[in-house]
Amino acid sequence: MAATTIRQGKDLYAGETKKHIRDGFGIYTYRNSFFRYEGEWKDGKKQGQGKLVLKDGGYYEGEFQDGEMTGNGIRFIAANGSTYMGQFYMGHFQGNGEMKYKDGGLYSGEWDSNQRSGNGTLQEAQGQTYLGNWHNNKRHEQGKQYYKDGSRYDGNWHNDKRHGQGELRCGDGSIFDGQWKNDVFHGFGMHISPSGMYFEGQWINGKPSEMAVKIVIKGASPRDAQSDQPFTIEIETHDANGNLVKDNGRKLELTAGVKYAPVTATPQSSIDLTSDDGVEDRLIPTELGYDLFPYPICNDTAFFEMYLKECEEEEPDPTVKGKAKPKERVKEEDTESGKDDQASIDGSLVEERKEYPRVATVTVEDGTVTVPSLFFAPPPPNYKPFAVPEEETPPTPVDRSKSRAAPGRRSEASINARTASKLSKRSSFEEKGVRAGEYVISVRDITQPPFLGFCLEPAYLIVRLLPSAAKKAKAAKKPKERGQRWNTNRLITAAIAESYTQNH
């Protein structure tokens, strides 16, 4: 086997030959000078190990059969900076191979005619990984996709999109298990939110076929209620057409308040209450055209029974003269300091309690939730009326130096003082008990995160709170019969008649 140089036109071969045919090791430069081969030859064809170098910097190094890149080899593609190492057939990626991409991505698996096809794993530089089936360089049929945010999809694919049956577990904890079409939920499936809310049913283009948009409180508004009788409200979730939507696990919050009216000469609402400075910072905005001043609402039955018992003990009876016996002061032991708390505590449930038991967050099941045993708690000690109603305003005291009462009559100043004292006693009790008037209950969607990024429209119920049944019963009692009133003329006539009888 002799070494020789053979020139065929512009092609040039330098290497071993056998009977003037390229055979053995040799270097072949093509006429267009773009390709250059150096390696083994047999019977004039590239055969065995060799390296095909391209002028742009790319190359193939590996096995050749019958002049073609067939077998195992390495291919560097200068155009995109990728490197393939694996099996070849007739110059194409065929069989098992590994492709390292310039951006750091890596595919390892089966190939067909330079396309990812069959089973393989793609690790993308952005942090995503796919393990499963491929067809024509796209994810196809069964496969698992791991996303960089921690989400994971396990199911069917078609044309590089989630399609068919599959389960998606998102990084935020939400889950969808069901049917897909063109990469979105479509068909029957269940979506579970990280808040615990879930919807099971038909989906159309990524949305439930039935989508709740608002909260509804059943029954008429305003609604009448008595202060000493707990009441119940029923809540539902509806779509835009007013139909019940069977939501499950949605979280709702109940709050209450009274219409807020700034201090004016004339009260603007049936109940005008304020607290300390900065009240505007605590107002509850509504869609009713006015803000609400927060007011405690509870459904703690034990607290309600204690409250009713206290009201019965403290309410002054108009038929009984004299002052009500005050409760004994209660001493609270400070467990941290070991000292008795000598603060002004009169044992009153209202004054002892800094915070009232609030209504717990309620959960919707099958689109409904019932909240029983609701009642309005007495206002906290720092809640004060904005203004005393005009009919309760005591007359202006009269200067005694300028007016003297007629003999046998009470002075106007005395009447004023007595009236003011009565009003003060009544006001003191009313501050400890819930006042009759108009209250507003607000129900809001506090599901977090919001289901599918959407919160329901809130609902409001106006409650007209009436005096307690016990107060009505007392008011209906027949007043005690009084003795005959003093009648001077009658007494004088009777005395004259008696004297005349005795003298005659």
Label residue 489 exposed, middle or buried (CB < 10 Å: 0-12, 13-18, 19+): exposed
pTM for the model stands at 0.64
pLDDT value, residue 328:
44
Token pair listed for 504? 């005659």
pLDDT band at 378 (very low <50, low <70, confident <90, very high): confident
pLDDT value, residue 148:
93
Strands, DSSP E only, in 260-320? Answer: 273-274, 292-294, 297-298
Per residue in 39-71, pLDDT (tens digit) is 999 999 999 999 999 999 999 999 999 999 999
- The whole-number average pLDDT for the span 111-127 is 95
Query: Which region among 128-132, 145-149, 439-443, 487-491 has the lowest average model confidence (pLDDT)?
Result: 487-491
pLDDT band at 428 (very low <50, low <70, confident <90, very high): very low
pLDDT value, residue 154:
97
Please answer whether residues 126 and 149 qualify as being in contact, where contact means their C-beta atoms are separated by less than 8 angstroms: no
The residues facing 153 across adjacent strands are 145, 168
List C-alpha distances in Å: 282 to 261, 285, 295, 381, 438: 14, 9, 11, 17, 19
Q: Three-class SS string for 194-241?
A: CCCCEEEEEEECCEECCCCCEEEECCCCCEEEECCCCEEEEEEEECCC
Query: Which region among 260-264, 439-443, 472-476, 499-503 has the lowest average model confidence (pLDDT)?
Result: 472-476
pLDDT band at 388 (very low <50, low <70, confident <90, very high): very low
Identify which has the larger pLDDT, 370 or 384. Answer: 370
Please answer whether residues 212 and 445 qualify as being in contact, where contact means their C-beta atoms are separated by less than 8 angstroms: no
Per residue in 186-207, pLDDT (tens digit) is 999 999 999 889 889 999 999 9
The residues facing 443 across adjacent strands are 254, 459
List C-alpha distances in Å: 161 to 134, 150, 174, 181, 379: 12, 19, 20, 8, 59
Please report, as a single letter, which amino acid is at residue 198.
Y
Identify which has the larger pLDDT, 455 or 489. Answer: 455
- The whole-number average pLDDT for the span 206-216 is 93
pLDDT value, residue 10:
74
Token pair listed for 487? 């009648």
Q: How many Cβ atoms from other residues are within 10 Å of residue 498's Cβ?
A: 10
H or E element at residue 246: none
Per residue in 146-190, pLDDT (tens digit) is 999 999 999 999 999 999 999 999 988 899 999 999 999 999 999
Percent of the chain with pLDDT over 70: 68
Please report, as a single letter, which amino acid is at residue 489.
N
Q: Strand 251-259 vs strand 437-445: parallel, antiparallel, or unpaired?
A: antiparallel
Please report, as a single letter, which amino acid is at residue 395.
P
The residues facing 13 across adjacent strands are 6, 28
pLDDT value, residue 457:
95
Residue whose entry in the numeric block shows the structure tokens 């590996």: 62
Per residue in 288-305, pLDDT (tens digit) is 888 888 888 888 777 777
pLDDT value, residue 271:
52
Per residue in 354-368, pLDDT (tens digit) is 456 778 789 999 999
Please answer whether residues 26 and 13 qualify as being in contact, where contact means their C-beta atoms are separated by less than 8 angstroms: yes
List C-alpha distances in Å: 476 to 325, 402, 437, 449, 471: 25, 42, 21, 54, 9
Residue 91 has pLDDT above 80, yes or no: yes
- The whole-number average pLDDT for the span 412-433 is 50
pLDDT band at 381 (very low <50, low <70, confident <90, very high): low
| CA-based max dimension of the chain | 187
Highest-scoring range by mean pLDDT, 229-238, 270-279, 463-472: 229-238
pLDDT value, residue 280:
62
| Radius of gyration for the alpha carbons in the chain, expressed in angstroms and rounded | 46
Mean pLDDT of the chain: 79
Q: Which residues are CB-contacts of 96 (< 8 A; sequence separation ≥ 6)?
A: 86, 87, 109, 110, 111
**Eight-state DSSP code of residue 451:** G
* List of long-range contacts for 470-475, beta carbons under 8 Å, 24+ apart: 470/228, 470/312, 471/315, 474/317, 474/318, 474/319
pLDDT value, residue 433:
66
pLDDT value, residue 20:
85
pLDDT value, residue 349:
42
pLDDT value, residue 412:
53
What is the C-alpha to C-alpha distance for residues 232 and 220, in angstroms, rounded to an integer? 13
List C-alpha distances in Å: 449 to 106, 121, 172, 192: 35, 33, 9, 12
pLDDT value, residue 160:
96
Per residue in 303-358, pLDDT (tens digit) is 777 766 666 655 555 444 444 444 444 444 443 443 333 322 233 444 444 456 77
What is the C-alpha to C-alpha distance for residues 176 and 219, in angstroms, rounded to an integer? 36
